[in-house]
Structure 1
Amino acid sequence: MSSSPLTVFHQSIATQRDGLAELERALSGPLGEHMEQAVSCILATTGRVVITGIGKSGHIGRKIQATLASTGTHALFLHPAEAAHGDLGMLKTDDIVIALSTSGESAELAPVLSYTTRLDLPLIAITSAPHSTLAQASRICLTLPIVREACPMGLAPTTSSLLQLALGDALAAALLDQRRFTATDFSQLHPAGQLGAQLRPVKELMHVGDTIPLGTPDMPLRNVIVEMTRKAFGCMGVIDPQGKLCGLITDGDLRRALEHDLDHTIAANIMNLTPLTARPNMLAKDVLHAMNDRPTPVSSVFVIDQDRRPLGILHLHDFIRAGVA
């Protein structure tokens, strides 16, 4: 009799969680030492990291290659079957090869292993079989622990594939850290989509020049209304005689002040002395988070230089248009 799907869900996740725990424990032994050797080897190379694998290991290899490439490591994927039909020419004498095979005996890898040996390329193996053909051919062997597959029959590569992926991600994370790869570097490699938008500096999104709503502390309330209406950002920055931002007036401040004399009430009487501001190189996602994290979320933020002089202004709609929000 079959188990309920929910029971199988829980069993599958629990089995894979146990597998990850085994992997974490293994990192405290020889696997951890070999991982450090792999990082050093990759950092020292002047070539590319070439990932190869067949079947499920190939799919995982493609994902590891994509993660490495997007985090500062020059990486490509070499399909073993295509390699035997001419793609071995992709390999160069200064490359490193990472080969994935749970059993370490995938016949399709044989041409790649042979050519790697011929060129004397460093070979890093990711396998669960330390005495396999792949392991014996490698310079560094990252041996995964033997774990139970999450498949109810214990046959389909599930937990073992997850461990390959986790190890590859850990390797990429270590390389990213060692290279001091920054969010700015990341944004240059991810210019498209929401992720790319979130990593753009706000100086690329802000309104500048005459579009910025600005006034002085002694500006009458009637003129404040005109400036805010004309610029349509729902606020006005107040600058001192040196051109530095010293306050902010929002629509809410204006509504509360309308009961006062419009000609005799001035900007300094109603302005907020501690407005939220941003610097031009701050990432859009960080500024948006700061806007939403205020006790009362704000809809506009001024971008200022180190002397607090306004450089531009951003409205919530700008984040939406850019795909940040």
Structure 2
Amino acid sequence: MTTEIRGSDFARLARRITEAGLLERRPAYYAVRLAVLSIAFAGGWALFAWVGDSWFQIPVAVLLAVVFAQFGFLAHDLGHRQVFRTRRPSEIAGRVIGNLCIGLGWGWWTDKHNRHHANPNHEEHDPDVSPAVIVWSTGQVERSRGLPRMIAKYQAYLFFPLLTLEALHLHVASFKALARPNMRDKGWEFGLLLGHLAWYAGLVFTVLPPGKAVVFILVHQAAFGVYLGSTFAPNHKGMPTLTGETQLDFLRKQVLTSRNVRGGRLTDIALGQLNYQIEHHLFPHMPAPNLRRAQPIVQAYCAEVGVDYLETGLIDSYGQALRHLHAVGAPLR
């Protein structure tokens, strides 16, 4: 891994990306994507109502979990202003999709995610590697106490089972964030989250008896959490973590802490095009469909300036992340 600093490296890459027109908005693409997802969302709940009081609602719950996650990817793009140039329409659409449709606080999550982008895999600044449950480095293991320390021993085996609780964690965190004094538009955030709870619980408990309704919600939320977590896990988990004052410039800080996942169009759709994580971190405002076209430009440029660029298959990316988690917990075994 090279740590040689060349402050103008990113500027030269940015010029190539700009000249290729890859930062231009893609309104037609996002209009079609929103229409397709809206039809899938409405159709999924129509199917739920049609199936009615039946255990065949279990596969419907999984199907709707996939639709919810795809809406989450769209909310992510709105948070980065990939869809609209200005803040206001991004916020309106983001809150409707995030808060009202899938029950995740868009304002809280966007702020958290932007802090991750500013300092990816930095143990002191990236909220995504804070040791709330999973510990990500040997240093965190040494400082861990309570539940994270207990889990760390076998966290590689527990990682995917724990993802069944990820959606619940995000729902709870969305409400907890409303207590922060610097939280913007609390009224809208709170009202739309309550609106989601009202229509979601009202619909499920109207169509299903209490027992089946609870099972449906548990399966739906567990599948939603596993899908979301499985799309984010390949991106940074098992990559180098940073501490203190880093000597890496922007290009290296983003590339060396990120991992791409190779695949075709189906992989792109399944992972919300976040499999081009390196390109996304370098150009977070770049519309998602342009990331595939930017990938060969960025990869070639990294080779040109001597920066390690990691791309692997989906299964291998999980293997790398899990082996890292297992190695981190070794001192406690």
RCO higher in structure (CA 8 A, sep ≥6): 2
TM-score by length of 1: 0.20
Structure with greater Cα Rg? 1
Structure number with the higher strand fraction is 1
TM-score by length of 2: 0.20
